[in-house]
Amino acid sequence: MKLIQALKCLPEKEYSAFHCYLQNPVVNKRQDILLFFDQLKARKFLATDKQDIFSKIYKDAPFESTKWRLLCSRMLKLLEQYFAFSEFQNQKTKQQIELGSFYINQKRERQFTSTFKDAEKQLEKATNKTEKHWLEKYNWNEMNYYFIESQNRQKRTSLDEMSEQLDVFYFISKLKISLRELSRAVINAETYSIQMLQEVLANIDKNPRWLQIPAIKVYHQCYVAIRESGTEKDFQELRKSIHKHQSIFTERELRDIYFIAINYCIRKLNTGNDKYNREALELYRLSLEAGLLLKDGFLPEPAYNNIVTLSIKENEFDWAQHFVDSYKNSLKASSRNSMYQFCSAKILFSQDQYDECLIILASIPNKLPFIYLGAKTMQIKIFIENKEYDLLDSLLESLRVYLQRRKDLGYRKQNYVNLVKFAKKLIQLPIRSNSEKEAFIEEIKAAEIFTEKTWFLERIE
C-alpha cells in the first residue's frame, strides 16, 4: 500500500509535527483525516484491519471501498505535501528567492532590496561553494535583473556576473557528470555520450583563471588524474587540491571525491602497480577519520574489505585486526558475520596460518561475489603452497564455470580469468622448458589486470 510505505518514511520524532500540520486549517479541514492518522499511528502504520479502522473513523458505518481509497489518497497527498514543506523549511536560500519574487510582484522596492542584501550576505558566508552555490547566485542576480527592469531600466545590471556564475555552474556540473561517466564505464562497463565536455575542457585549458575557482580546480584535477592519459604527477596534484579545498564541499560531495581518488588507486593496483597501495590506504584512513565512509550509518562491504587488503600488503597486521574488530558492528547485519570472518581469514592467510584460514573460509555463511572470489583466491594459493593439486584442479574448474555465468563483474572479471589461467600453468611449470618458463613470466608481467602478479612471480622464482 503506497500510503503505508510513505508513512514509514516519516521519522518517529516527526509524528507530533505531522499531526500539528494536519490540524492546520490552511492545509486540512477534514476531521476524518486526523482520526485516520491517529488510528494508523496506534497500529504502528499497519492497515491490515481496514474495516475496523473505517468503522472507528465513521462511527460504525458499513465499510465502503471507494470512500476508503479516497481517504487514503487524501492522506497520502497531505503527507507528501508535508515532506515537501519540511524540505523547503531547511532551504533558506529558496525561501528568500520566493520572498524576493513576492516583493517584486507586489512592487515593494524597499523590502526587495533588504531581502536581496540579506541573501548576498548569506551566499558570501556559505561554506559549500560547488555548483548549487553558483546557481543560487545566478538565480538571485537574475531576480535582481527583473527588479531593475521593472523599477529603473537606466540602471546598469549585472549581466556579466550572471553569465560567469552560469558558466561556473555549468563547468562544475559537466565535470561531475564526466567523472561519473568515467567511473561507471570502468565499474559497470557502461557507455555514455557526454556532449560539450571537450569544449568545457578546452575552455578551461585556454583560460586558467577558471582553475582559481576551487570546485572547478578539484573536479578538473579529478578528471585529469583518472583519465587514461593521467600521470603520477596529476594524481599528486589531485591529492593536494583535495586537502586544500575540502572545506567547500558537502559531506556527500567529499565522499564521492575521495572514492574517485581511492578507486583510481585500486585500478592502478589491479594492473600490478603496487606503489599505489600506501596511497589508497592513506586515503581510506583520512576518509575514516572524517566520517566519510559510512553510508546511511553503515560501512560499505567493499571499503571494509579493501582497507584490510591494503593494510595487509603494508604488513600492518595488528592494525588490520584492530580495524576488523572495531568496525565489525558498522557493517550491515545481513553481511556482518560473513565479512568479519572473510577479513579475519585474510589476515590469517597473510601470516601463513593456512589451516586456521581454511576452517574460517569453509564456515562463511553468506558469500557475496567479491567474498566468494576472494575466498577462492586464498584457497587456490593455499592448495598451490601445499601442493594439493587434485583439490586445486576441482576448485579452478568450479571457478571457471562461475566466471562464465556471471555477467555483472565488470573489469574485475578479467582478474579472476587470469587467476584461473595462470594457476593452471603454474602447476605445470616443473615439466616445462626454461624458454617456456621465461615466456610464462613475461605473460604474467604483461597482463593488464591481475592483482596477484607479485605472488605468482615469487612462486616461479
The answer to whether 20 and 28 are in contact (CB under 8 A) is no
d(CA 245, CA 233): 18
Residues 403-442 pLDDT 10s: 998 888 877 889 999 999 999 999 888 777 888 888 999 9
Residues 338-359 pLDDT 10s: 999 999 999 999 999 999 999 9
pLDDT beyond 70 at 373: yes
Grid coordinates standing for 333? 547485519
d(CA 23, CA 208): 57
pLDDT beyond 90 at 93: no
What pLDDT sits at residue 197? 92
What pLDDT sits at residue 267? 82
pLDDT beyond 90 at 111: yes
The answer to whether 343 and 305 are in contact (CB under 8 A) is yes
What pLDDT sits at residue 134? 95
pLDDT beyond 90 at 324: yes
The answer to whether 304 and 344 are in contact (CB under 8 A) is no
Give 295's strand partners: 298
Closest CA to 175 of 123, 213, 137, 142: 213
pLDDT beyond 90 at 32: yes
Grid coordinates standing for 212? 582559481
Tell me the average pLDDT across 357-384.
89
The answer to whether 21 and 82 are in contact (CB under 8 A) is yes
Residues 41-54 pLDDT 10s: 888 887 668 888 99
Taking every pair of C-alpha atoms in the chain, what is the biggest distance, in angstroms?
A: 93
The answer to whether 420 and 403 are in contact (CB under 8 A) is yes
pLDDT band at 127, cuts 50/70/90? confident
Give the range among 165-179, 191-205, 329-343, 398-412 with minimum mean pLDDT.
398-412
d(CA 32, CA 39): 10
What pLDDT sits at residue 213? 95
Closest CA to 32 of 74, 62, 2, 1: 74
What pLDDT sits at residue 411? 75
Residues 294-323 pLDDT 10s: 888 899 998 999 999 999 999 999 999 999
pLDDT beyond 70 at 292: yes
pLDDT beyond 90 at 172: yes
CA quadruple 288, 294, 299, 304: dihedral sign? negative
Higher pLDDT pick, 376 / 429: 376
Residues 130-164 pLDDT 10s: 999 999 999 999 988 988 888 777 788 889 999 99
Mean pLDDT of the chain: 90
